[in-house]
């Protein structure tokens, strides 16, 4: 008889894991694999796939027990694309064989994922993508170019959408694939950013062969599948769990308290306004995560991602202004190839420059405004003359 999956039961199972695999003497990967197999990776996932079918809110119970015991985590920021975007899409649309093949090494961090969606001519209008996938027996042959791809230079796998039928309108005829980044036809080139770093990449696909077994969802259903990815992406960007004064408002508030000589009345009023907005955004994100426990994310994630981008840019701008000339200093300007975006411990100048990308990545603010207007507020949609035109007939 299965035990009732409540908080005491999850604590008991967590303690069993710790007893069988003491963190102090167990190899990190071995511990993470044991945690996944015990269903304590993401408790709301099905049994056998890292979960127990328990309420999502109970994950915090497991995490707190493991943290108190000094257990290693899976470095979630490093594998954020896999955890926040690939995993929920594979869970929803993947065949059982795909779920069992990909979810475990994804969660443990053995296999890093990236996202091959945006293209030079299809960024904000993602449905206009031109990367082609042509069926060849049991494979698909993919040719095209993707851009603004985070972590492509360290990724083992990618989620990819490509056009499989150009005779259909642009939102149709798209299919979703899982792409092996070690294929010889995949070329990754760095894109240098305003910060001096190259965390983004452009990816060229030339004759890349993807088995049909690595197709996710039906042929031509890629846009529907991609919506799951995109909604989860916006939640993972704008709805992350933060403590009070977490995120960018923390360094700004710290500077204000520690540097009274920089204060002015005008800056004080602006800081108070942004502090309140950051706290409202933090609590709204918490509420959104609670709603997620009941099912798939909705369009609320688009609103959270909008607020995240605007706040980060306003807060980082105020911090540079508060510091004056000192705020322009950026003493770790390096031509690096980082694995992930990291604002922690960086200069105010870096935060100011990097925050400019927040209104582009994960969906531009302009597109998200349209989504909120049409899908949340129910306002009339903008006129679209290309909606029912075959993609091959569109002007480019």
Active-site positions read 233
The tokens for 343 are: 């604002």
Would you call 203 helix, strand, or coil by DSSP? strand
Task: Please calculate the CA angle 317-276-350 and round it to the nearest 5 degrees.
Answer: 25
Element (H, E) at 176: strand 174-180
What is the C-alpha to C-alpha distance for residues 198 and 201, in angstroms, rounded to an integer?
7
Q: Looking at the DSSP assignment, which residues form a beta bridge with residue 143? A: 132
Express the helix, strand and coil content of the chain in percent, nearest 5 each: 45, 15, 40
Would you call 139 helix, strand, or coil by DSSP? strand
Who contacts 335 (Cβ-Cβ below 8 Å, separation ≥6)? 192, 196, 197, 198
Would you call 149 helix, strand, or coil by DSSP? coil
The beta-carbon contacts of 118-123 under 8 Å, at least 24 apart in sequence, are: 118/146, 118/147, 118/148, 118/149, 119/144, 119/145, 119/146, 119/147, 120/145, 120/147, 120/202, 121/396, 123/147, 123/148, 123/360, 123/364
What is the C-alpha to C-alpha distance for residues 105 and 121, in angstroms, rounded to an integer?
33
């Amino acid at each position: 008889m299965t035990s009732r999956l409540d908080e005491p039961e999850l604590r008991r199972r967590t303690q069993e894991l710790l007893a069988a695999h003491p963190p102090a003497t167990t190899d990190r990967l071995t511990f993470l694999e044991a945690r996944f197999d015990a269903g304590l990776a993401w408790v709301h996932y099905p049994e056998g796939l890292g979960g127990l079918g328990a309420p999502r809110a109970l994950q915090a119970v497991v995490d707190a027990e493991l943290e108190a015991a000094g257990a290693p985590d899976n470095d979630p920021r490093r594998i954020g694309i896999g955890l926040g975007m690939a995993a929920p899409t594979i869970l929803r649309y993947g065949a059982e064989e795909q779920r069992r093949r990909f979810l475990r090494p994804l969660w443990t961090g053995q296999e890093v994922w990236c996202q091959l969606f945006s293209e030079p001519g299809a960024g904000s209008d993602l449905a206009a993508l031109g990367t082609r996938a042509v069926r060849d027996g049991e494979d698909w042959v993919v040719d095209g170019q993707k851009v603004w791809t985070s972590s492509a230079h360290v990724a083992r796998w990618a989620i990819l959408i490509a056009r499989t039928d150009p005779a259909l309108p642009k939102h149709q005829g798209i299919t979703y694939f899982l792409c092996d980044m070690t294929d010889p036809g995949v070329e990754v080139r760095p894109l240098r950013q305003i910060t001096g770093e190259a965390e983004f990449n452009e990816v060229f696909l030339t004759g890349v062969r993807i088995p049909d077994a690595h197709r996710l969802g039906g042929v031509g259903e890629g846009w529907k599948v991609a919506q799951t990815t995109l909604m989860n992406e916006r939640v993972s960007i704008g709805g992350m769990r933060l403590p009070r004064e977490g995120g960018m408002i923390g360094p700004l508030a710290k500077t204000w308290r520690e540097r009274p000589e920089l204060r002015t009345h005008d800056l004080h009023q602006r800081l108070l306004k942004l502090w309140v907005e950051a706290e409202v955004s933090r609590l709204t994100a918490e509420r959104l995560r609670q709603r997620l426990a009941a099912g798939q994310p909705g369009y609320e994630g688009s609103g959270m991602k909008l607020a995240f981008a605007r706040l980060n840019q306003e807060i980082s701008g105020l911090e540079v202004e508060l510091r004056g000339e000192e705020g322009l200093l950026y003493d770790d300007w390096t031509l690096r190839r980082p694995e992930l975006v990291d604002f922690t411990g960086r200069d105010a100048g870096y935060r100011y420059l990097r925050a400019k990308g927040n209104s582009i990545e994960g969906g531009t603010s302009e597109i998200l405004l349209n989504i909120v207007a049409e899908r949340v507020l129910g306002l009339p949609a903008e006129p679209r003359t290309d909606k029912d035109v075959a993609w091959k007939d569109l002007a480019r």
